[in-house]
Structure 1
Amino acid sequence: MLFVGNEIKGTLKPTYQAGKLLITKMSNNSENSRFYAYLLFAEHIISKLIGLSPWTMDTAKIFRKNLFCNQLDTFTYKLSVIGSNYNILLAVFYVLCDVFVINNNLNKQINVPTSTKFEFVSILCISVIPLIYVIRQKLLISVKNQIKDVDNELMSCAGYTLVKNNTNYWIFIINNVLIYCWIIFMLLFRSSWVLRVAPILPTVFGSVLIVQYAMTINMIEKRFKSINLTLLKLKSSMRRPILNDISSIKYAYIELCDMCEKTADFYGIPTLIVIILYSIRNIGNCYEMILVFLSESEMSKTIFCSGIFAVQTCFLLTILTTSVTKLLKQSEKTTRIINQLLDRFTINQAITEKLSKFSNDLWHMKVEFTLCDIIPLNCSLLAM
């Protein structure tokens, strides 16, 4: 027993040291920015491979030395003819592989599970999404490039600092861990190669898409939070600097609202497709698990795959709805802070007029996230 315990400790020690190093890197501000750049690069490559990133990203600067931290937080994105053509070919490949390979193998088998037949339909559905990315990629490219413009505008404000947030790290890492665990169980416990491969593509595709959406929302939410903290720091009675700061903050806020609208518009249809497919599959998995428990028969090993998939679905919906809810709270908080500043600067007429105009304009800048204007994308989605 002692030998086994020592062996386990020896096995866990490298894992513990790696985790400690990861946390140390994320807690250090300088490494934080460079590490975040590496994360964006990894997310970009994974997304591009499966057809969720047809644009080009200025990744060369990640590997340059002597760069300032704020230079690593944002990148320049551009349209890519090669990436767009790759997405079109990938969508055609998905359809051909689904129809002529997976479907033919399913027809040769007897007693094919209903869930596997559903995966055939799922692959056809997700084949549309890379084409949507090609057609509407200008929207998201605009959003990603606007982040840099917003940062440049806010840098002129006195006391402005971009809030440090490690949420995107953990979203990316946890999602990858769940995906790898699920794929391993699928490869181990499924008998036929068709039963192994067919569910993998829709699952990986959907999880990467939702994580990409959540990470984009978190980047915008971080700017809203930084704006609110900067507004709270406006304590100086000097007239000119405060007026300039308010103008810069107002411009940044309008840009962020525009980014929210474009992001929700771009991800609306793809996210709706993924959530519908995930929901139907989870209903089927729950039905199969209930039958196993009621029949008192031997538990199938594939139940572990269903369990991990259910956990992953809960994780994806939670991070997406939580990210949206946090962003909405930060956007609403700006109105309350402006009202506090109006009470503080009652003596200065110019500042009061500037803040009053900003406060009135906020009523016309409503931030909303929905799935094709059908389902509100906040924590109320989890209650449905």
Structure 2
Amino acid sequence: MKLALKILFNFQLSIFQLIGFAPFKIKILEKNNITFKCTQIYKCYNLILILFLITINIYILPHVFVNLYNEKETILSRLLGLVLSYSLTAVIIIICLLYVFQQRKFIKIINQFIEVDLTLNKLKNIYKLDDQSTKFMFITIFNLFFCSSVIICEIFLNEQFHVSFFLYLYQFLVSSFYVIQYAILLTIIEKKFKSINGTFLKLEDSIAAQHPIENIRKYIIYKMCIVEIIVLKRSHTKLFSLCSEIANFYSFGMLFIIPFIIISMIINIYELLIPIITFYVFPNLMLRRVNQFSWMAMVLFPTLMVAMVASQIEDQMKKTGNIVQKILQECSMSPEIRRELKIFSLELLHRDFQFTAYNIIPVDCTILRTIFGAVATYLIIFIQFQADDGK
């Protein structure tokens, strides 16, 4: 299991580095600890990648209408596809530039995960890290499967795959991995919040055990509880700050990628309905069906994972306050411990956080209602325009 996880992690990291989303090098320290360092090589690589994307898209443009579209597609769908492709290319280029200019900020965020881990690992008696490797493998494997399915289908469906790949496929693949990276980081944060809440629940037993035992042991447990409460408070505060930093870092990409997801869903659902609406049977119809479902899964799955994990983090934040209140109400404790918990409880009351893209689009489960509502609304409008265009 550990070997498979390591291979999968290295493979996913290699993909992030290939598309310019991992601008760092990993340095191994003492006691198997690691840290992430800035490197100029990946900055240069990202700039070369951006120049390559600009050049290849300028070269492809004259071939678009001649070689890519079939005769059954209307002018509106061609124009929409072209605008979608080049707009998303511009977004991907800007995201790559953000990784270049905000390299230190991104690396600082990742290193803070390690700092929180090191801090929490000091609580060896009661702190136990929840195993989230299964969730990481689930997210990564399914995303790779959907992306691979789209690539394979496109190879068989498009004679000029090299044109379609750089015209629109590459952009959607990159945006998919961008959102998946966001989901992976949120998964790590969720694990930390779960561990902190679990530690507070175990701490409740330690606090309750102070009174019926002898004074010396009671004093040891008392000091241990004070230290652990302070460590947990600081870790929770740092995680809360990390949530805000990560949400801000990915806000630009999510703000523009989500509309592209909606448009892609509309186009693919429409293409699924074309044989029914027009009574036209495309060649390789079954393969086209597989491709369209794979496309929808590829663009929707990463956002679904981000939304689910973000909602779980928000629930864990609220759960911390409930646990602290429960300890205060149900346990007898020393004045010092009660004071620390009351201060922490007041701090939690002022921490109202929601994952958003620049406070415009929510990135928790409420985003699914936004996506599906927009798809249903604009699909009807798109079908009507296509019918008028066909006339």
Q: Distance in 1 between matches of 2:68 and 2:13?
A: 41
Find the counterpart in structure 2 of residue 132 from structure 1. Answer: 98
SS at 1:78's partner residue? Answer: strand
- Could you tell me whether the CA contact under 8 Å between 2:68 and 2:164 is conserved in 1? no
TM (norm. structure 1) is 0.83
Find the counterpart in structure 2 of residue 20 from structure 1. Answer: none
Residues 79, 135 of structure 1: alpha-carbon distance in 2 compared, 3 angstrom cutoff: same
- Is 2:79 aligned against 1:96? no
- Is 2:88 aligned against 1:122? yes
- Could you tell me whether the CA contact under 8 Å between 1:345 and 1:351 is conserved in 2? no
Q: Distance in 2 between matches of 1:142 and 1:110?
A: 43
- Could you tell me whether the CA contact under 8 Å between 1:102 and 1:120 is conserved in 2? no
- Is 2:170 aligned against 1:222? no
Find the counterpart in structure 1 of residue 35 from structure 2. Answer: 76
- Is 2:130 aligned against 1:172? no
Q: Distance in 2 between matches of 1:174 and 1:78?
A: 30
* Superposed displacement of residue 282, structure 1: 1.8
Listed as ranges, the gaps of 5+ residues in structure 1 are: 1-24, 26-30, 62-66
Find the counterpart in structure 2 of residue 204 from structure 1. Answer: 173
* Superposed displacement of residue 190, structure 1: 1.6
Find the counterpart in structure 1 of residue 44 from structure 2. Answer: 85
C-alpha RMSD of matched pairs (Å):
2.1
Residues 35, 140 of structure 1: alpha-carbon distance in 2 compared, 3 angstrom cutoff: farther
Task: Report matched runs for 1:1-384 at 5 Å.
Answer: 25=1, 31=2, 35-58=4-27, 71=32, 75-99=34-58, 101-106=59-64, 108-109=66-67, 114=78, 116-117=81-82, 118-157=84-123, 158-165=125-132, 166-193=134-161, 194-234=163-203, 235-236=205-206, 237=210, 238-301=221-284, 302-384=288-370
Q: Distance in 1 between matches of 2:186 and 2:153?
A: 31
Residues 162, 281 of structure 1: alpha-carbon distance in 2 compared, 3 angstrom cutoff: same
Q: Distance in 1 between matches of 2:166 and 2:55?
A: 15
Q: Distance in 2 between matches of 1:347 and 1:260?
A: 32
* Superposed displacement of residue 175, structure 1: 0.6
Equivalent position amino acid for 2:50 in 1: A
- Could you tell me whether the CA contact under 8 Å between 1:206 and 1:274 is conserved in 2? yes
- Could you tell me whether the CA contact under 8 Å between 1:55 and 1:77 is conserved in 2? yes
Equivalent position amino acid for 2:320 in 1: T
Q: Distance in 1 between matches of 2:187 and 2:194?
A: 10
- Could you tell me whether the CA contact under 8 Å between 2:56 and 2:166 is conserved in 1? no
Residue deviations 1:80-106 (CA, integer Å, cap 9, x gap): 11111111111121111111x211222
Q: Distance in 2 between matches of 1:75 and 1:270?
A: 28
Listed as ranges, the gaps of 5+ residues in structure 2 are: 211-220, 371-391
SS at 2:102's partner residue? Answer: helix
Give the structure, 1 or 2, with the largest relative contact order (CA under 8 Å, sep 6 or more).
Answer: 2
Equivalent position amino acid for 1:186 in 2: E
* Superposed displacement of residue 35, structure 1: 4.5
After TM superposition, the structure 1 stretch with the greater mean CA deviation from structure 2, 34-43 or 372-381, is: 34-43
* Superposed displacement of residue 156, structure 1: 2.0
After TM superposition, the structure 1 stretch with the greater mean CA deviation from structure 2, 269-278 or 211-220, is: 269-278
Q: Distance in 2 between matches of 1:139 and 1:153?
A: 21
Residue deviations 1:160-191 (CA, integer Å, cap 9, x gap): 01101210111101110111111000010123
- Could you tell me whether the CA contact under 8 Å between 2:261 and 2:300 is conserved in 1? no
Residue deviations 1:313-344 (CA, integer Å, cap 9, x gap): 33222111001011111111000110111123
Equivalent position amino acid for 1:104 in 2: P
SS at 2:280's partner residue? Answer: coil
User: Between Structure 1 and Structure 2, how many residues are aligned?
Assistant: 342
Q: Distance in 2 between matches of 1:98 and 1:163?
A: 45
Equivalent position amino acid for 1:304 in 2: V
After TM superposition, the structure 1 stretch with the greater mean CA deviation from structure 2, 318-327 or 276-285, is: 276-285
